[in-house]
Structure 1
Amino acid sequence: GGKASSRSFLNLAHTRKFMQTLMIAARCKDLLEESKTASIRELYYQLKHTLEGPKEENTFEDQTESDACVEDLERMMDVLREQLHLNADKSGTLHGNITVEDAGETIDCSKQGMGGYAIPSNIERINIKSVDADYGLVIETSGMGDRLKEEKFDKKNNAILISTGGQASRGARRLVHRLAAEFGLPIYVFTDGDPYGYYIYNVIKCGSINLAYLSERLATPECRFVGMRMTDIDRYGLEKVTEKLKPQDEKRIQEELSYPWFNSKEWQNELKTMLKKKVRIEQQALAYKSLSFVADEYLPGKINEGDFLP
């Protein structure tokens, strides 16, 4: 929003945070001048030490403190941390007819084997040279990503597969955003049918609450949900492979019912039906039909029929 905060070096309550922020800013300046990059974990260890004095305080007690300062710098300077030469661990894989240039090497992501191309934290450093696909499919679980690759879903459907292995990392979300914004690629998201899978979709579509200030660069508002739904249970005869909701699941659903990004009629109905049925359904439960069912029937049917949630 429009709120702002300030820190003063002369204010005792602000002094430690002020010092931490300046330490990180100075280190980022060094990285930029040296043309080097560092992981946010390396940054934490580089700057962590004990200050001289009677209290023997540390500059940083844990990484959450340094991470928070990095986020503050992003807000203050209106940049991504990657532009400050800071990276996180790689998370997610890319597979399909897309060619990228990374560190001077040209990589054809359709020829990377089952492992695929590991999505880097810093998407700004890669040049997306070409995209020859009808759409991109973001997949929540690595196991389902492997299933679709084994079934050659990308080749049979001219699709780009992006496996996130759970909540999508910033790198994966930035990549999805670039594919949609720069290449006009339709994006579909395939998650479990539970409140956590639905939230994963929401973060890809709208951005996360904690990083709302980066939503314009990380979110993909035009993406569509083709994941597991309550109607799939009856439609495909999956009653025997559902999981009972736990109390924390029901609490999470109640929270999501109040979120503005789930206020559409379709999503309200989906969440209320889940509460009524008291079950959830994982994407890999489709193996109950057959291993190839998800690739041969489920996903092609939903995408071709336009059977998705907004």
Structure 2
Amino acid sequence: MPKRKVIHREKPKEKFSYDPKKVLSKLEEYGRSVLEAIKSGKNPYFDIPMRGLNNVYFDEKSRLIKMGDKLSRRYFLNVAHARKFMQTLLIMAYVKRLVSEGKHASLREAYYANKHTIPGTRENTFEDQRESDPIIEDLERMLGVLREEMHITADRRGYIYGDIVIRDGEDEFNASKLGSGGWAVPGTVEHIQFPEINVDYALVVETAAMADRLIEEKFPKKENALIIATQGQASRGVRRLIHRLHYEEGLPIIVFTDGDPYGWYIYSTIKQGSINLAYLSDKLATPEARFVGMTMDDIKRYGLENVTEKLKGIPPNKKGGPTGDYKRILEEMEYPWFQNREWQRQLKLALKWGVRIEQQALANKSLEFVAKEYLPEKINSGDLLP
């Protein structure tokens, strides 16, 4: 094993401070503009940044997927717009009440709280949550804030384990003293504080099974690491937590996923953001994150040829191809942030060999191999992909 490379925590780049007064101020500003338009006999409207691929671009300087400047205008006195205009005002008023009272609501609760029949009609304000969720996303883009800052949360997913002290309201605890299950990341992490951090870096792990394995092998203690289990695609709460730990606390971020197009996409969203949430990349993405594995090189380096899985779908050189995993890899090869020699080589090898490799395949060596050899060897030698 190579000599241990000391991983230094970086100097914090920012300090986050959530101010509910700013959210309320923005809401009141929109409310006043609508009222003034009505008083002056004008048609009230909202300008909403457009969602979708045609209003998204990759910013080379910040290395983030960002939203463009295209807007759609939503009028009150327009038959095609009136319903959504009304729904927008309803949700804005609801958010104002939540923030003012210091209460939080789930996406589902926000839907039911604002669903009712309009007096004198048979029309409901909302027929389905598929109507209210997009309105909340519209507000995020209009106000330039996270929905969590509007006190609207989603289901929680993911957990952390390691020597880090967390202050959550009146509670303060160490995430390594809560049993092997660690601390479940809540839907919103805006109010969380970190009084004490005694780790060198955060290791973001795709599967809960692998995170559990590392905890059982005492990897966090031996390697002075914080484990962040995403349990699949990282939730907004987990991505925001990763962002805050890096930019506010200076923790280096290392990502460990399966060696397949889905795992690589998980890394991509943590690092650069996503098209759907391009308007939140500067609050959710962490461009300085590095990738430890699994890689195609790992297959031969560690003798894992017999425990690979075939890529799903039809290869590009076969009739009807490319489909499935092959199509996804070709798409990822076109991502601007994968336009470097290291990643292009990995993706081309996956296509050439037609295989993928899961984290759990390392158990073929031994249960302890991933914690005692694989990760320490690669991380301590700096064998990481950009």
Give your verdict on TM over 0.5.
yes
Residue 134 of structure 1 pairs with residue 210 of structure 2: no
Q: Alignment partner for residue 209 of structure 2, among 143, 166, 175? A: 143
Query: Residue 176 of structure 2: SS of its match in structure 1?
Result: helix
By how many angstroms is 1:45 displaced?
Answer: 1.8
Supply the AA of the counterpart residue of 2:71: A
Partner of 2:72: 5
Query: What letter is aligned with 1:128?
Result: F
Question: Hey, what's the Cα distance between the residues in 1 that align with 2:120 and 2:112?
Answer: 21
**Larger displacement relative to structure 2 (78-87 or 196-205):** 78-87
Following superposition of structure 1 onto structure 2, how do residues 1-310 of structure 1 map, counting pairs within 5 Å?
A: 1-51=68-118, 56-247=122-313, 248-310=324-386
Structure exhibiting the larger radius of gyration computed from Cα positions = 2
- SS for the counterpart of 1:111 is coil
Q: Distance in 2 between matches of 1:180 and 1:117?
A: 18
CA distance in 1, matches of 2:117, 2:149: 29
Secondary structure of the 1:6 match is strand
Going from structure 1 to structure 2, the CA distance change for 1:277 and 1:61 (only over 3 Å counts) comes to farther
Shift of 1:157: 0.4
Question: Secondary structure of 2:194's partner?
Answer: strand
> Residues 247-297 of structure 1: CA distance to partner in whole angstroms, max 9, x if unpaired?
111111111111112111111111111011001000111111111100000
Per-residue Cα deviation, 1:119-151 (whole angstroms, up to 9, x for no partner): 111111111111111110000001101001111
| Letter of the 1:67 counterpart | D
Q: State the alpha-carbon separation in 2 of the partners of residues 307 and 284 from structure 1.
A: 20
Amino acid at match of 1:261: W
**Larger helix fraction of residues:** 1
Alignment deviations for residues 148-207 of structure 1 (CA, whole Å, 9 cap, x no partner)? 111111000000000000000111111111111111111100000000100000100011
List alignment gaps of at least 5 residues for structure 1: none
Q: Deviations over 1:58-83 (max 9, x none)?
A: 33333232121111111111111111
- Shift of residue 51 of structure 1? 4.1
Question: Distance in 2 between the 1:277 and 1:64 partners?
Answer: 41
Greater RCO (Cα-Cα under 8 Å, separation 6 or more): 2
**Amino acid of the structure 1 residue aligned with 2:96:** K
The amino acid of 1:5's aligned partner reads S
Computed over aligned residues only, the root mean square deviation of the Cα atoms, in angstroms, reads 1.2
Between Structure 1 and Structure 2, how many residues are aligned? 309
Find the aligned partners of 1:83 and 1:266 in 2 and give their Cα distance: 38
**How many percent identity over aligned positions?**
63
1:77-105, CA deviations, whole angstroms, 9 ceiling, x for partnerless residues? 11111111111111110110111111210
SS at 1:7's partner residue?
strand
Q: TM-score, normalised by structure 1?
A: 0.97
Distance in 2 between residues matched to 1:263 and 1:49, nearest whole Å: 50
Q: Which amino acid letter does the alignment assign opposite residue 158 of structure 1?
A: N
**5+ unaligned residues in a row in structure 2: which ranges?**
1-67, 314-323
TM-score normalised per structure 2: 0.78
Query: Which residue identity is paired with 2:366?
Result: S
2-side partners of 1:207 and 1:132: how far apart? 28
Relative to structure 1, the CA distance from residue 7 to residue 146 in structure 2 (aligned partners, 3 Å threshold; closer, same or farther) is: same
